[in-house]
Amino acid sequence: MDPTTLTLTTAVDDLQGVHPETAAALRRLGLRCVADLLLHAPSRYRRTHSWQSMSQMAEFADAQSGDDLEVRGEIVSVERGFGRGAKVEAVLEDDSGEVDLVFFNQPWIQRKLHPGLRISVVGRPRRYRSRIQIANPSWQRIDNDASLVAPACEDEHAKLTPVYPASDELSSDSIAEIILATLPDATALLDDHLTDEYRASRNLPTLARAYRLLHRPELEEHIDTARRRLALDELLMLQLGVMMKRFHRRTHLQAVSLPLTEDVQSRISARIPFTPTDAQSRVMNEIAADLAEEIPMNRLLQGDVGSGKTMVALAAMLQAVANGRQAALVAPTELLAEQHERTLREVLQHAPMRLELLTGSITGSARRSLVKDIGAGRVDIVVGTHAILTNDVVFRDLAVAVADEQHRFGVQQRATLRSKGSDQTHCPHQLVMTATPIPRTLSLTLFGDLDVSVIDEMPPGRLPVETVAVDRAGAAAAYADVAARAGRGERSFVVVPVIEESPTGLTDLESHLDRLATGPLRDCRIAAMHGRLDTTERERIMNLFREGSLDVLVATTVIEVGVDVPQATLIVIEDADRFGLAQLHQLRGRVGRGDRAGKCVLVAEPTTDEAHRRIEAMVETTDGFQIAERDLEIRGPGELFGARQSGVPPFRIAVIPRDLELLALARRDAEVWIEEDPLLTQPPHTLLRRRLLKAHGQWLGLGDVG
């Protein structure tokens, strides 16, 4: 293709010199057009030094720089290696020494290499036992009479080679070649959405230069320069989007004001069955103040498992009801919805108001009449699952909507909830609750359109859950403990990762239950609890467990969130290394909710470093915020409390927490811009605005922002 007609949307199939098969392989990697190629960031850079002698190479290996280098020599032997899998070993030497080349899973190499052959090899040398080895090097023949004396080495720079995410059909080097070929023309097409002035003030390269440096750095510092610009771009866009959304909510959307009069206050207080902790009081005040405004509240309530969020939610809902409006509480599972309904019904026993449960299990005429009553305003508080969010459920005047356990709720659902208001211009005040403490910096990034309240104090008398990690053999003692506790009237959970026999060989729930029921727990009353049981059965089993007719529940993670049985004191988590840290912490929160201390036994034989660190973190702390920080450290924010489900597009370049400083900068700058030009409609922002809407318009629901 003539480079003058190249555009950013030119398909990879139309690029000069790209074979149709290669184009197809590119497309399978998600690289469809020129812009995709530019955006395809190297996952790392290989540092390659030019031709070195064997003795210099030995020094490199000992310095463990991780750099690659080239050596040249003559093959002196080739053998099939011992051990499992195809392995070919060759020895290469020059006048100054020798190196072992090891080729894994490339049996054909044995036919290509032979003693006397001269080759050039590029790879990373490392010391293995007392010898130097290069594993899976790339190599090529050189003339058999070529000199093997490396040129005297000046202390020159290593060459930086981008290593791209690649596939079996397309290597990083092939991708690099294609990207490099389009780079000059493609970057020449890039308009910058940041002004010269701004770039100068923040010492940022142009977008074009940033991409050139990203794909073709000559110096180490070029990589940083490129990354800094592109990471800041991503963070800035996200912050601007989120702030734009916030501005829109505060200026265009209206909520019903729910004043907290003395009368309302005392009616609410009368329903709260205990003295709130200081943290609960503070948070209740923050929420009450929001609800009195005509600006729709959009608040995230963070509080560790057992910190008492339910009562805070109740107070908020009562503020709506006392003002003659409706409220809803949406839970992520039926089990949780049912439990909330039970708790609230008990607390509201003698209150002159109507509370109803709406879940997927309520169908037919029962559902129809309930929906009708909700629409007519005959129901004051609706507790339920996402069934509340279906189209046919219309409230007469929903004023407060609470979503429990936010990490299961996407932005999409929150938007739906918002649209459940009485009319198009009014929307309910929203409270989103999560027990997965999110590091503050991160919650600002991901949920920047939310105000955040934190309950950082436990109700009095709560004892931390003792946590131990044991291997398979240690599980026996844990089950003996389960049996002993059953004898004392205490209850236990046993959690397994999956229900069915799976090819991964995880403990299967039913067979595990059989083993326990016929073995160590033969004297216990034991039952299975999982998501495949229908609601009535689940409800029946939960009730038996709650009232003490069952000693042990063998469960999947359906018990992860919210399940509240004060007499449960022990939780044994099988294959604990298979669970995420947040999930483990949630599970642990199921015990020690009464006045007796809880214990958590993690049965795990972790095989990866990450799994090790997760188990370690659990044993070391019961503080949810510390757990969250550790989680962030261990795996980055991508997976944190299901950021993906929440709809936030993943970053390509930025990495949190590494780029926290850039994030702070992005927040500061975004704030100033939005203050000056709330919807970014001023001329210098036109291109920025277009790109921002493209990146974040959909998940943030910025469509209505225009």
**The one among 42, 125, 137, 276 contacting ligand ADP by CB under 6 A:** 276
CB 353 within 8 A of CB 369: no
Tell me if 437 contacts Mg ion by CB under 5 A.
no
CA distances from 47 to 123, 156, 163, 217, 488 (A): 10, 12, 10, 11, 64
HEC sequence for 449-493: CCEEEEECCCCCCCCCCEEEEECHHHHHHHHHHHHHHHHCCCEEE
**The one among 118, 222, 309, 386 contacting ligand ADP by CB under 6 A:** 309
Task: Give the one entry of Mg ion, ligand ADP, none that residue 332 binds, where binding means its C-beta sits below a cut-off of 5 to 8 angstroms depending on kind.
Answer: none
Least distance to ligand ADP, CB of residue 276, Å? 5
Beta-sheet pairing, 87-94 with 68-80: antiparallel
Least distance to Mg ion, CB of residue 89, Å? 59
Number of residues that bind ligand ADP (CB under 6 A): 17
Tell me if 308 contacts ligand ADP by CB under 6 A.
yes
Which CB atom, from 276 or from 606, has the smaller least distance to ligand ADP?
Answer: 276
Of all residues in this chain, which one has the CB nearest to ligand ADP in the complex? 308
Which CB atom, from 327 or from 702, has the smaller least distance to Mg ion?
Answer: 327
Which CB atom, from 276 or from 421, has the smaller least distance to ligand ADP?
Answer: 276
**The one among 290, 380, 564, 574 contacting ligand ADP by CB under 6 A:** 564
Question: What CA–CA distance (Å, rounded) separates 596 from 616?
Answer: 24
Which CB atom, from 37 or from 336, has the smaller least distance to ligand ADP?
Answer: 336
| Burial (CB count <10 Å: 0-12, 13-18, 19+), residue 461 | exposed
Which CB atom, from 554 or from 563, has the smaller least distance to Mg ion?
Answer: 563
List the one residue out of 544, 552, 545, 548 whose CA is nearest residue 492.
552
* 43-51, 274-282, 376-384, 393-401 -> range binding ligand ADP (CB under 6 A): 274-282
List the one residue out of 568, 564, 536, 563 whose CA is nearest residue 552.
568
Tell me if 306 contacts ligand ADP by CB under 6 A.
yes
Question: What CA–CA distance (Å, rounded) separates 212 from 42?
Answer: 12
Instruction: Write the binding mask 455 to 494 for ligand ADP: x where contact by CB under 6 A, - elsewhere.
Output: ----x-----------------------------------
**The one among 12, 15, 305, 446 contacting ligand ADP by CB under 6 A:** 305
Task: Give the one entry of ligand ADP, Mg ion, none that residue 306 binds, where binding means its C-beta sits below a cut-off of 5 to 8 angstroms depending on kind.
Answer: ligand ADP
Least distance to ligand ADP, CB of residue 589, Å? 6
DSSP 500: S
**The one among 374, 435, 438, 640 contacting ligand ADP by CB under 6 A:** 435
Tokens matching residue 606: 């972790």
CB 682 within 8 A of CB 460: no
Which CB atom, from 234 or from 560, has the smaller least distance to Mg ion?
Answer: 560
HEC sequence for 379-446: CCEEEECHHHHCCCCCCCCEEEEEECCHHHCCHHHHHHHHCCCCCCCECCEEEEEECCCCCHHHHHHH
Least distance to ligand ADP, CB of residue 442, Å? 20
* 26-34, 376-384, 559-567, 573-581 -> range binding Mg ion (CB under 5 A): 559-567
Tell me if 347 contacts ligand ADP by CB under 6 A.
no
Tell me if 302 contacts ligand ADP by CB under 6 A.
no
Edge to edge, the sheet with strand 451-455 lists 355-358, 381-384, 326-330, 398-403, 429-434, 298-303, 451-455
CB 497 within 8 A of CB 574: yes
List the one residue out of 630, 254, 281, 186 whose CA is nearest residue 438.
630
HEC sequence for 142-164: CCCCCCCCCCCCCCCCCEEEEEC
Which CB atom, from 564 or from 577, has the smaller least distance to ligand ADP?
Answer: 564
**The one among 42, 520, 562, 592 contacting Mg ion by CB under 5 A:** 562
Give the interface with Mg ion as residue ranges (CB under 5 A).
562
Give the interface with ligand ADP as residue ranges (CB under 6 A).
274-277, 280, 303, 305-311, 435, 459, 564, 593
